[in-house]
Structure 1
Amino acid sequence: MRTTQDLRTFYEEHLHTVLLPFWRRAVDPRHGGVYTCFNNDGTVLVSRDKYTWSQGRFAWLWSTIARLAQAGVLSVPAEPFLEQAGRTVAFLQRHAILPNGNCAYLLTEDGTPKEAIPGAGHDISFYADCFVILGFTGYARASGDEAALEDALRLYDHVAERARAGNLRTEPYPIPPGMRAHAVPMILVNVTQELLDLLVAAGHPRAGEMRDRLLRYAEDILATFMQPDGRVAEILPARAEDDDTVLCRHLNPGHTIEDMGFLLRAAGQTGRTDWIAPALRAIRKAFDLGWDDVHGGLFRFVDRDGSPPSGRRFGDRYEQLILDTWDMKLWWPHAEALYATLLAHQVTGAEDMRRLYDRTHAYVFRTFPNPDPEVGEWVQIRDRSGRPADTVVALPVKDPFHILRSVLLILERLAEEETSR
C-alpha cells in the first residue's frame, strides 16, 4: 500500500510532467482562456472556438493551482497561473454574459457569441453558466477580487432562479419535458459548495444562506434520486409508466461516484455526518454495477441491474447516446473515482474504499496517460478494451477539467493529512 507521501510524490510528478506541460501550451496568450478543440490524443487543434463550459473550468483550475501554490501545497510560482486565470475571467466577463443574463455556450477565439446548433440561439445550456460561476469563484478565492465574487453571486442567483422555475436548457443532451435529471441538483451542489468556501473565507454575509442552499440541493439528491440499495437514478420519469424506458432505467456509474465526492465534502462543510454512510453505499453500488470485470474500468452507462442498457425506446437523442456508447471507457469517471474513493477512505478509514482506490489507480495509469511524452496529458476517450477511440462524447473538446481537478483535490487532501499528523 502506498503511503501518503508516496501518493503525494506520484501525483505531483504526474501534474508537473504529464498534465501541466500540455495545458500550458494550450493557453491563448492574446485573448485569454485556453484552446480545447483538440483531437483525442492532443496532437491536432481542430478549431480555435471556445466553449464557455471549458473556459470557466480552466479559470477554476488555474486559480486553484495558484491558491495551492500560495498555501505551499504545490511547488510552482503562483503568479503566472493567477495572471492567466484573471485573463480568462476577464475574457468571460467581457464576452460570455448575454444581455438576458445567461451565458453564451460557444464563443469564437476573440469572444464573439456563436451558435453551436444553427438556429438554437446562444444560451443553450445552463451547465455553461455553472462552470463560468466556478471560474469566477475560484479566481475570487485565490485573488481576493471582489468584482469576480460579485459576478459569481449575480450569475449564481440568476441560475438558481431559472432552476427554481424549471427554465433550464441542458445541451448537449436536453432533458425530456417533465423528467428530472440527477445532473441538475448535482452541479448545483458543486457550484454552491465552491461559493460557500469562498464566502466563508471572505467573511461574506451570504455564507449562511449558501450553506442552507447546499443543504437543500444535497438533500434533494439523497431523498429523490438515491435508492435504498445505493443506486442513484440519472433520469426520473414524468409518468410512472415511463419507468421502463432506456432513459429511466440507465445508470451512470461515474456520475454517481463524482457526486458522492461532492456529498462527502458537503458533509464536512455542513456537519451532516449522516450523509457519509449513504455516500459510501452509493460508491460501492456504482462499482458493483459499473466495473468491467473483463477489461477493467468503469462502463459509461449500465442498466439498473448492471447489464447493458435496455428498456423501451422513444427516440430521444440521449437515449441513442446511452445505447451507442455504454461500454466506452472515458477519462472523467476514472479521474473522479480516484478522488472520491481516496476521500472516502480518508474520511471514514473504510478499507474497501482504499481497495477501490487501488483498483482504480492501477487501471487508470496503465490505460489513460498518453504514451507519447512529447504530447502528454491523457488519451481521454477509449473503447471497452482501452484502445483510443476518435469520437465525440459530449462537447467536441479535450477538456482540461476532471483530470486536473481530481489531481489537485487529491494533492490538497494529502497535504492536509500530512499536516494533521
Structure 2
Amino acid sequence: MGPEQPEQIARRQLEDVILPFWLENGIDTEHGGFFTCFDNRGRRRLSTDKFTWSQGRFVWLLARAARLAERGLLALDPAALVRHAERGASFLLEHAVGPDGRCAYVLDEKGEPLAGERSVFADAFVAMGLAELTVHTGAPDHLATIDLIVQRIADDVAAGDPPTPPYPLPAGCSGFGARMIVLNARLDQVRAHQAVSGRKPSLDELRAARAAMLAHREDGGLFTETFVADPSMRDTILARHRTPGHALEGTWMALEAGDLLGETGDHADLVAGVSALCAAGWDDEHGGLFRYTGVSGRPYGGPYEDLVRRTWSTKLWWVHSEAAYATRLAAVRYGDAEAAGWFDRIWAYTLRTFPGGADGEEWIQIRDRTGAPLDEVVALPVKDPYHISRNLMQIVALGDHR
C-alpha cells in the first residue's frame, strides 16, 4: 500500500474532524439557521447571534457535502445534509433577504435583524449558498432570489465604494476582494442555472466579472490588492501591500470560470502565476504563507490599513486551504510540476499547523507567525465553517477526476 493520497487525507479530515464539529455544534434545530460564534479553539460558544455571512456559507458547505456524499466521496447521509441546508436557506429567506436583494448583516438567534451595516460579502454568500443548494436539488425555486442578489452586489461593486464592513476601504479605492466575490457569485449563479435548465445561460456577466477581477493582475503573476485612484496615494501601505491568499483564491476561480466559458487562452499564464504567488508569500524562516506582504510605504490610515499593519505576519486557515487547492488544481488538472512542489510544501505545513488536536476543536484557524494559536478575531467574531470545508471538498473531488 502506497502513501495516503491528498484526497484521502482531505476526506478523513472532513469526516473525522471538520464536519462532525459543525454538525454537532452548529445546527440550530429550534429556530433554524446556524451557530458559528465560537472561539478560535472551538471550545466556547460566544454568542447566539447569526452573521448572514456565515449563514450563507453554512448552507453552501452542507449542500456541497451532500453532493459528495451522493457520489460516495464522503461517508455522510446526503438526505440529512440537504434537510439542514434547506432549513438554513428558509431561515435566510424569511429573515435576512430584502425585497431589493440587500441582506441583513446580522440576526439574533430567532432571526430578528440586529443593527449593523450592510456588506456585499454577506449578500454574496447568501446567494452562493442558495446557488449550491440549487445545484444539488435542480429545483428552480431560488433562482430569482439568486439573480436579484448577485445583480445587486455586482452593481454596487461596479459603482464603486461598495459596503465591505468591518474593514471598509477609503473612498475612491477599489478592492480585489470585492471583484473576486462577484466572480465567485457569478460562477455559482451560472452553475445553478445550468443545474435547473440543463444548458448554459448567458455568460456575458460571468465573462465581465472574470475580466474585472483579472484587471488586478500584474506582470509576473502577482495581484494588486487595492487600486487607488489618487496618484498621491500610490506610495502608501494601502496601495503597495499584497494578499497572496486572495490572489491564489482568485486564480482558481479564474481558471474554473475560463473552463466554463471555453476561454482558456490565459490559462498557461495563470497556472504559472500560482508558483509566483506562493514564492511571494512564503515565510522562509517559520514556514507558511504570510497574510499580507509588501507592507511598506507611507501610512494612510483607516481600519483596513490598520489591520494590514497589525496582522501581516499571521498564519491563517483560509490562506493555506485556498493555496492548497490552487496549487493542487494547477498540478493535477494542468500538469504544472512547480505547483506540485508548492502543494506538497503548503499541504505539509497546513496539516502540521492548523488541526486543533489537543489544543482545540476542529482546526485552530488563527495562528501567529510561528504557528502558535492566536486567540483573536479575524473579520467577524465567528469560527469560519467555510474555507477549510470548501477547499478540502474540492481536493476530494479533484482526486476523483484524476
- TM-score of the superposed pair, with normalisation by structure 2: 0.95
Q: Which moved more, 1:192-201 or 1:398-407?
A: 192-201
Q: In structure 2, which of residues 318, 336, 342 is the aligned counterpart of residue 332 of structure 1?
A: 318
Counterpart of 1:172 in structure 2 is: 166
Structure 1 unmatched ranges of 5 or more? 116-121, 304-308
1:137 match:
131
Contact kept, 8 Å, 1:331 with 1:403, in 2: the verdict is yes
Confirm or deny: 8 A CA contact 1:69 1:78 kept in the other structure. Answer: yes
Equivalent residue, structure 2, for 1:193: 187
Aligned match of 2:236 in 236, 239, 245? 245
User: Given the alignment of the two structures, is residue 208 of structure 1 paired with residue 206 of structure 2, yes or no?
Assistant: no
Say whether the 8 Å CA contact 2:271–2:336 is kept in structure 1: no
Amino acid aligned to 2:257: A
CA deviation vs aligned residue, 1:367-416 (integer Å, no higher than 9, x gap)? 0000239x531000000000001111211110100000001111111112
Deviations 1:23-55 (A, max 9, x none): 011211112222111111000001010100000
Larger deviation, residues 28-37 vs 125-134: 28-37
Read off the aligned partner of 1:216 and give its amino acid letter. A
- Structure 2: distance between partners of 1:147 and 1:162: 25
Counterpart in the other structure of 2:30 = 30
> Equivalent residue of 1:274, what SS?
coil
Per-residue deviation at 1:204?
A: 6.6
Equivalent residue, structure 1, for 2:335:
349
Distance in 2 between residues matched to 1:85 and 1:197, nearest whole Å: 18
Report the secondary structure of 1:225's partner residue: coil
Counterpart position of 1:378:
363
Q: CA deviation at 1:312?
A: 1.0
Q: 1:161 and 1:255 mapped to 2: Cα distance?
A: 22
Whether the 8 Å contact between 1:36 and 1:50 is mirrored in structure 2 is yes
The residue that corresponds to 1:265 in the other structure is 256
Count of matched residue pairs: 400
Secondary structure, in 3 states, of the residue corresponding to 1:280?
A: helix
Query: Displaced runs of 4+ in structure 1, greater than 4 A?
Result: none
Matched, 1:229 2:236: no
Could you say which residue in structure 1 is the equivalent of 2:56?
56
Identity among equivalent pairs (%): 38
Asked whether the 8 Å contact 1:21–1:376 carries over to 2, the reply is: no
Choose 264-273 or 154-163, whichever is displaced more: 154-163
Cα distance in 2 for residues equivalent to 1:200 and 1:99 = 25
Question: Is the 8 Å Cα contact of residues 102 and 123 (structure 1) preserved in structure 2?
Answer: no
Structure 2 equivalent of residue 323 of structure 1: 309
CA distance in 2, matches of 1:253, 1:61: 24
Helix, strand or coil: the match of 1:314?
coil
The root-mean-square deviation of aligned C-alpha atoms, in Å, is 1.7
1:73 corresponding residue in structure 2: 73
Letter in 2 for 1:342: R
Superposed CA deviations along residues 49-97 of structure 1, whole A, max 9, x for unmatched, are: 0100000000000011112222333232210000000000000000002
Report the 3-state secondary structure (helix = DSSP H, G, I; strand = E; otherwise coil) of the residue aligned with 1:302: coil
Q: Return 323-332 or 153-162, whichever deviates more.
A: 153-162
Give SS of 2:46's match.
strand
Give per-residue Cα distances to partners, 1:334-362, cap 9 Å, x unaligned: 01111110001122211111100000111
Structure 1 residues 34 and 314, CA gap change in structure 2 (3 angstroms): same
Residues 172, 229 of structure 2: 8 Å contact kept = yes
1:104: Cα distance to partner?
A: 0.7
Q: Distance in 2 between matches of 1:197 and 1:279?
A: 22
The aligned residue for residue 128 of structure 1 is 122
- Alpha-carbon distance in 2 for matches of 1:96, 1:370: 32
Using the alignment, how far apart are the partners of 2:60 and 2:380 within structure 1?
19
Q: Is the 8 A contact 2:8 2:396 kept in 1?
A: no
- Structure 2 stretches lacking a partner, 5+ long: none
CA distance in 1 between partners of 2:157 and 2:242 (Å): 23
Alignment correspondent of 1:119 = none
The CA distance in 2 between the partners of 1:187 and 1:236, in whole Å, is 16
Counterpart in the other structure of 2:11: 12
Does the CA contact (< 8 Å) of 2:225 and 2:241 recur in 1? yes
Please give the alpha-carbon distance, in whole angstroms, between the structure 2 residues aligned to 1:287 and 1:20. Answer: 28
- Do the aligned residues in 1 keep the contact of 2:38 with 2:383 (CA within 8 Å)? yes
Whether contact under 8 Å (1:345, 1:351) holds in the other structure is: yes
Amino acid at match of 1:319: E
Is 1:414 the counterpart of 2:399? The answer is yes
Which residue does the alignment assign to 1:21? Answer: 20
Which of 139, 146, 150 does residue 152 from structure 1 map onto?
146
CA contact (8 A) 2:237 2:296 kept: yes
Aligned partners of 1:182 and 1:221 also within 8 Å: yes
Q: CA deviation at 1:100?
A: 4.7
Shift of 1:167: 5.9
For 2:399 and 2:90, the matched residues in 1 are separated by: 32
